[in-house]
Each structure stands twice: as structure tokens, then as C-alpha cells.
Amino acid sequence: MTEQGWDLLLLYGHTWRKDFFRCLVNFNFSGPHAVAAVDRSGEVRVIVSDQWDLEGLAAEGRASFEPGFAAGLSRFITNSGSAKIAVAGKELMQSRFTSTDHASATAAVEELRRVKSPEEITLLRQAAELSDRGYQHFANAAEPGMTEYELVAEVESFLKTNGAEDNFMLIASGGTEVVGMKPPTERKLQVGDSVTTELTPQVDGYYAQICRTLVIGEPSAKQLEAFAIFEEARQAAEDLLKPGVDIADVARVQNDVFRKFGYGEYTGSKYTRVRGHNLGLHPDESPYVLEDVNYIVKEGMVVIAHPNTYLPLSGYMVFGDTLLVTANGCTSLNTTERKLFRK
Amino acid sequence: MKRGWITWDKTELPPSAFESRLAVLRQHLAAADLPAVVIYTDIWKSNQGRYFSNIMPYWNRALLVIPRDSAPILLCGLSPRVYPWIRSVTILDEIRPSQNIPLQLSQLRTEKGWTKVGVLDLPQIPWDLAVPNAVDVPWNSVRPQPDDAELSMHRLAAKMAREILAEEIPHGVDAIDHAFVGRLERRFRRAGAEDLLILLTNGATPPLPPNGSNLGQSFSLTLALEYRGHWAKISRSIVPHVPGDSNSKTELLSGPYPWEACNVADLTSGALFALHTETRQDGRRLFQGDSYWQGPNGAELL
């Protein structure tokens, strides 16, 4: 704050994006809004918009409840007497909560969040371990005739029973007609389906992700051929990922594998979104692993590299682990077998 | 993000309901001489976009643009690969890929010749999506009262919450809160709940997210349940509720968010809301609550 000339830093969260708030005050508020404010002395004050959140925060420092959040926040800012105010998460704020007088601290705080502390890595390991167990439950529960949303209900129940706060999860099932993933539908699983999932449990604020594909029945030759390409791409990313590498190259080496096999067109935005992303208090943090995103990887980052895309061989397929960047490379926080699962 | 079943059953929520809502909105636009209104929507601030189109951008955000004289247009960052799914669960047909939503809106305005547009609840639009040359269209002016379809859907949500919880709550006695939440997640999601949030207390605090505590013999929980885009929120205690409540909490369900704390005195006619009351028994805090709408004869249970 001193370097930037900020007198007061506000970290804003709403029900969807609690991450900026939780990077300072790791409390899972019910919402819809919360702000943590820190001044140069290090004193932290919190404003919430739900009275039960206020009681839950009792041990977290000076907190207040403002049912009219906009007016309460405005009063707080005025009373702080701060000359220079910055807001992390300003872009997410309702316009009436902020003004052009407030600097955006979003990029600066995102950068601070990218390299994880030992305590954060411990939580991410716990989340990754839960994602492994969750995927095993997913694979055990999936069976022909079950709808996608019933399968997700089973996984959700397992994750919550085992302490997950939340879960980011996409799913798809079917054959070559499947071009991407979405929330679960009433479609029933059938023999021959590829069942794909990104499973991302949250433990004490932190998300870890696992991506695997499961075939109902025996995989076809084309499904096996496709999986071999995904496996080579995933391995290429993990072989490259280390401090000092440009994240764009982590995307490039994955895409090069698809190009080598003649499937380069399936590495673009028509068929896929990203080749991975950072993980932490939000399940989809920047930097994104894309060939046109340049960012030098640092030790202590936690990233998923996933070559998820559509291929005409198999339909959409997913594959990837949560990776901790170490001094000389990276290590997977997942222990789930790296294979094309079958049921 | 949403990982429950997002769907549109046209026998429950007929297309005519959306047509009527859009007609009211377009009357407002005509009266205000506005060519279109822009509605912000995301995973959690979704009530308004859902009301007019049934859109749920399940892990992202979007702008719903409703022209005065043509079909709604969705500007969203979701992949075109999921557009068929979006079309299957909404009234929408035209969807424009928008990695840069403000730019896409600007291009749309230029294309349509719209120099001035309305924005639903303009002061609430996210800072980075600020719309230039815009006029505020207050939510209350285009959704003055809930229509029959909206009430019916909220009643279904409340009924699901009440009935399943009545069966399940005995299983919480002496359970670890995480395990009980897991049990409820399974039951509600298999029954078709789109989303739910469960807060619990063993009597020492208000209902809060589970933290590994034993619920003991006298616990309460608050359940927010979304059924096909429509929320209900209830609180229940394992112990029969005793009159003489000492505290209460009121939450608006028909604003832009699934719930938002409010004062009872601020509830206007037509508001949907949850009311939770607290009482103490043997030093333990117990909570009870239900969802209501502010009808012509006062608060009516949903």
C-alpha cells in the first residue's frame, strides 16, 4: 500500500466472487456483499450485508452489519478520512458502491494471490485430496440409466459430507455429438458414452480441480486413440511447467501435440476455452493457459493444465491435474490414476 | 456455480408468462422512449434475467438486451458450444459471443442505431460494465407485482423445501453438520433442486455454514432452495417452535439477488420475502422461518 500510495485498501466480495474478500478475511459469508478494509496500520475492519454473517465474524476483528450496504459503505469510506482509496474487486462492484476516485487494486492483489503461502498450499493439498476421493465416488456412482443431474447429486453429497464448502463442476455425457460441458441435464448415461467432468471442491476457501473422462462400457478404438493424444498433451504441459516458463508455452506444447496428430483446428476457441488456469480462492483464476497470454510462471503457483477439447474421434474429452509449481518443475497434488476410466 | 438441474418445463412455466412480462417491459420502454433495456445477470444476481428470459449463465455473467420491438439478445462469454443448451432452456434465440461484453454492447448499439438505452437498476450495474448514455429502469417499475406463474414456481420451491426437510430433519440429531448437509444435498438435488445453500446451528450461534460441529439434540437450519430459477428460504428446528420470538430476520427474495437482508417496513406490495424468527430454549438459540409474498390481504405463505 505504501508503494502504491494507498491509504485504505478495500477487498470486495459478493456471493459469486468472494475471493478478494477472503484473501484477507477467510470467512464464508452468505451475502450478498462483504468488504474487508485494511489501512496502513494493518487494522482490518469488515462490513457485511447479512446480520448472521456479522455474528459469524465475531472473532475476525471489527465488523459491522449494513443492511443498506451502499449507504453503509459510503459512510465508512467518508469516516475513514482516507485520502487515497483502492479497491480489489472494484470491477465486480455495483457502480453505486464505488467511484472514479477509487483506484483499482484488482491486478495488484491478483498478483499477490498467485504465489501461494505454505498454509495456502496445505489447503490446496486438502482440496486436491478431496477431488481425488470425489472423482473416485463419481466413477463408482456412474451407471447406465442414471441421469447426469442424479450423478452430480451423488458427487455433491459426497463432497459436502467430507467438508467441501462449495464445488465447481461441469459434466457432459455422450459420443461425438458432445462438443463441450455444461450443467447436468436429464440425459441418461448409456453404454459407450464418454462421461467428462471437471470436479473442483473448495476447502476452507481454496479450490483444487481434477479433470477425467470415463467411458461407460469398453472404450472404442477411437476413444482410446483420442485419449492417447490427451495424455501426451497433458504430459507435455507438465514436463514444461516450471518457474521462468512463459505460460503461453504451456499452452503451446499442449496444442502442438494436437497439431502433430492433425487436430490443430481443435485447439482454438471454437472448440475449447483455455488449456488451463490458475487455482486458489477462485476456481478460474488468471493467468489463463493460452498461447496469447504471456505470464512468467513462479514457484509456488498452483495451476491446472488441461488439454480439454473436442475431437471428432471421441467428442469432448477432459484430462488434467492440479499442479504445484516447485523450484525445478511441478508436482501433481492429485493421486487419481491418469487413465481413461471405464465403468 | 450451478450444478443442479437447470431446465425449463413449459407446462410449469408457460411461454406466455415471458410474453406478458416482456409486454409490460416494452410498454415501459415505449413510455420512456427507450429503444431497448440492458439487464445484467450472473450466477448469483440472476433473478432479473431469469424473470424475463429464463437465462442462467451458470458460471459466468451476461447482459440480456431486450429491444422494444424485436426479440431479446444475449451477450455472454459462454462458449458457442453451449448455445444449443441455452436455447433449449430459455426463450432466447440470438446469442452473441462476448468475451468483451462492453465492446459487444457498443457494437450492438451502433448496429441498431441506439444512442440511448435503458439499464435495469442502473446504479447496480457492475463498475466494469458501466453503460454510457443510459437511463435507469427501476426493477419495481417493470415488475410491480408477481404474476401467477412466478408465484406458482416459488410455491413449488417452498413446498419442496418444506416437505423434504420435514422428512429429513430427524436425521440431523447428533449428526456432524457436514454429514447432514451431504445427506440433504443428495436428497434435494436428486429431487431436481437447481441450487441450495444450507446454514446450521447447534444453538450457540445463528445458522452459519457447516464447520464440522455436532448438531446435538436441539439444532436449527436455514435452507435456501432454488427450483428452476425460483427461490424459497425456510428455517426449521428439530425442537417444536415455541411462540415468544425475540428476534427476526427478513430477507427480500424478489430483488436482484436470491436473498438480501431488508427491513419489514420496506417490503412493498408484491414483494416475496423470507421471515426467520429466533427463540431461546434452555439457553439454546432456535430458528424458524418461511417464505411469503406480500399479497392484497397481507403476508401469505408461499
**CATH 3.40.50.1980 describes domain A118-342:** no
Q: Kindly determine whether residue A56 and residue B208, on different chains, have CB atoms separated by under 8 Å.
A: yes
Same domain, B202 and B78: no
Residue-wise pLDDT tens digits, A261-271:
999 999 998 99
Contact A11, A20 (CB under 8 A): yes
**Mean pLDDT confidence for B77-94:** 95
For residue B3, tell me if it sits in a domain.
no
Whether residue A31 is predicted with pLDDT greater than 90 in this model: the reply is no
Across the interface, of B44, B124, B261, the residue whose CB is closest to A15 is B44
Q: Kindly determine whether residue B124 and residue A96, on different chains, have CB atoms separated by under 8 Å.
A: yes
CA-based diameter of chain A, in Å? 69
CATH of residue B94's domain is 3.40.350.10
Instruction: For residue A32, say if its preceding peptide bond is cis, omega within 30 degrees of 0.
Output: yes
Same domain, B158 and B288: yes
Whether residue B208 is predicted with pLDDT greater than 90 in this model: the reply is yes
Q: Return the percentage of chain B with pLDDT > 70, whole number.
A: 98
A48: part of which helix (H) or strand (E)?
A: strand A44-48
How would you classify the pairing of strands A85-88 and A103-104? parallel
CATH of residue B208's domain is 3.90.230.10
Whether residue B246 is predicted with pLDDT greater than 90 in this model: the reply is no
Whether residue A282 is predicted with pLDDT greater than 90 in this model: the reply is yes
The minimum CA-CA distance between B6 and chain A, rounded to whole Å, is 7
Same domain, B43 and B125: yes
Q: Where are the domains of chain A?
A: 8-113, 118-342
In sequence order, what are the beta bridge partners of B225? B196, B232
pLDDT at res. B139: 97
For residue B2, tell me if it sits in a domain.
no
Residue-wise pLDDT tens digits, B194-206:
999 999 999 999 9
Chain-centre distance for alpha carbon B176 = 29
Instruction: For residue A287, say if its preceding peptide bond is cis, omega within 30 degrees of 0.
Output: yes
pLDDT at res. B281: 87
Find where cell 407485482 sits.
B145
Same domain, B62 and B122: yes
Coil, helix or strand at residue A152: helix
**Mean pLDDT confidence for A68-85:** 91
Q: Kindly determine whether residue A182 and residue B3, on different chains, have CB atoms separated by under 8 Å.
A: no
The minimum CA-CA distance between B69 and chain A, rounded to whole Å, is 29
User: What is the C-alpha radius of gyration for chain A, rounded to an integer number of angstroms?
Assistant: 22
Same domain, B164 and B257: yes
B135 lies in which domain range?
15-142
**How would residue A63 be classed by pLDDT, with cut points 50, 70 and 90?**
confident
Whether residue B247 is predicted with pLDDT greater than 80 in this model: the reply is no
Whether residue B91 is predicted with pLDDT greater than 80 in this model: the reply is yes
pLDDT at res. B239: 84
**How would residue B244 be classed by pLDDT, with cut points 50, 70 and 90?**
low
Tell me the C-alpha to C-alpha distance, in Å, between residue A161 and each of A142, B79, B211: 19, 32, 11
Contact A305, A179 (CB under 8 A): no
Contacts of B212 in chain A (CB under 8 A): 163
For residue B9, tell me if it sits in a domain.
no
Last residue of a domain, one of B142, B168, B187: B142
Model-level pTM? 0.96
**How would residue A83 be classed by pLDDT, with cut points 50, 70 and 90?**
confident
Same domain, B165 and B216: yes
Residue-wise pLDDT tens digits, A122-146:
999 999 999 999 999 999 999 999 9
Across the interface, of A16, A170, A183, the residue whose CB is closest to B6 is A183
**Mean pLDDT confidence for B133-156:** 96
HEC assignment per residue over chain B: CCCCCCCCCCCCCCHHHHHHHHHHHHHHHHHCCCCEEEEEEECCCCHHHHHHHCCCCCCCEEEEEEECCCCCEEEECCCHHHHHHHHHHCCCCEEEECCCHHHHHHHHHHHHCCCCEEEECHHHCEHHHCCCCEEEECHHHHCCCCCHHHHHHHHHHHHHHHHHHHHHHHHHCCCEHHHHHHHHHHHHHHCCCCEEEEEEECCCCCCECCCCCECCCCCEEEEEEEECCEEEEEEEECCCCCCCCCEEEEEECCCCCCCEEECHHHCCCCCEEEEEEEEEECCEEEEEEEEEEEECCEEEEC
Same domain, B205 and B289: yes
pLDDT at res. A82: 84
Residue-wise pLDDT tens digits, A207-237:
999 999 999 999 999 999 999 999 999 999 9
Cα separation, A91 vs A121, in Å, equals 27
Same domain, B162 and B261: yes
Cα separation, A138 vs A210, in Å, equals 12
Whether residue A108 is predicted with pLDDT greater than 80 in this model: the reply is yes
The identity of residue B38, as a single letter, is: V
- Which of A70, A79, A83, A65 is CA-nearest to residue A1? A83
Whether residue A61 is predicted with pLDDT greater than 70 in this model: the reply is no
Whether residue B182 is predicted with pLDDT greater than 80 in this model: the reply is yes
Cα separation, A141 vs A68, in Å, equals 45
Chain-centre distance for alpha carbon B108 = 28
CA dihedral of A256, A259, A263, A268, whole degrees rounded to 10: 60
For residue B5, tell me if it sits in a domain.
no
Contacts of B43 in chain A (CB under 8 A): 16
Last residue of a domain, one of B142, B175, B209: B142
The minimum CA-CA distance between A196 and chain B, rounded to whole Å, is 14
**How would residue B66 be classed by pLDDT, with cut points 50, 70 and 90?**
very high
Q: Give CA angle at B3 (A342, B9), nearest 5°.
A: 110
pLDDT at res. A60: 58
Mean pLDDT of chain B: 95
For residue B1, tell me if it sits in a domain.
no
Across the interface, of B44, B186, B199, the residue whose CB is closest to A32 is B44
Spell out the residues 6+ positions from residue A126 whose beta carbon is closer than 8 angstroms to its own: A203, A204, A206
**Mean pLDDT confidence for A26-52:** 93
- CB distance from B79 to chain A under 8 Å? yes
pLDDT at res. B277: 92
**Mean pLDDT confidence for B45-70:** 97
Coil, helix or strand at residue A4: coil
Whether residue A50 is predicted with pLDDT greater than 80 in this model: the reply is yes
Identify the DSSP state of A315: E
pLDDT at res. A146: 98
As for how many domains chain B has, the answer is 2
In sequence order, what are the beta bridge partners of B232? B225
**How would residue A118 be classed by pLDDT, with cut points 50, 70 and 90?**
very high
A8-113: which CATH number, 3.30.450.20, 3.90.78.10, 3.40.350.10, 3.40.50.1980?
3.40.350.10
User: What is the C-alpha radius of gyration for chain B, rounded to an integer number of angstroms?
Assistant: 21
**How would residue A67 be classed by pLDDT, with cut points 50, 70 and 90?**
confident
Whether residue B282 is predicted with pLDDT greater than 90 in this model: the reply is no
CA-based diameter of chain B, in Å? 67
ipTM of the complex: 0.95
Same domain, B49 and B155: no
Interface residue of B79, B127, B266 to substitute, partner A, most A CBs within 10 Å: B127
Last residue of a domain, one of B125, B142, B159: B142
Whether residue B60 is predicted with pLDDT greater than 80 in this model: the reply is yes
Cα separation, B53 vs B86, in Å, equals 11
Give me the helices (H) in chain A, please: 19-22, 51-56, 69-80, 106-114, 118-141, 148-161, 221-240, 247-260
Same domain, B186 and B132: no
**Mean pLDDT confidence for B285-289:** 93
For residue B207, tell me if it sits in a domain.
yes
The identity of residue B26, as a single letter, is: R
pLDDT at res. B173: 97
Across the interface, of A16, A162, A170, the residue whose CB is closest to B44 is A16
Residue-wise pLDDT tens digits, A164-190:
999 999 999 999 999 888 999 999 999
- How is residue B174 written as a grid cell? 447428533
Same domain, B129 and B212: no
Interface residue of B40, B81, B120 to substitute, partner A, most A CBs within 10 Å: B81
Q: Which of residues 141-170 of B touch A (CB under 8 A)?
A: none
**Chain B residue with minimal CA distance to A162?**
B178
In sequence order, what are the beta bridge partners of B230? B227
pLDDT at res. B242: 64
Chain-centre distance for alpha carbon B169 = 24
Across the interface, of A150, A163, A283, the residue whose CB is closest to B190 is A150
CA-CA-CA-CA torsion sign (B231, B237, B243, B248): negative
Same domain, B177 and B266: yes
**How would residue B1 be classed by pLDDT, with cut points 50, 70 and 90?**
confident
pLDDT at res. B245: 62
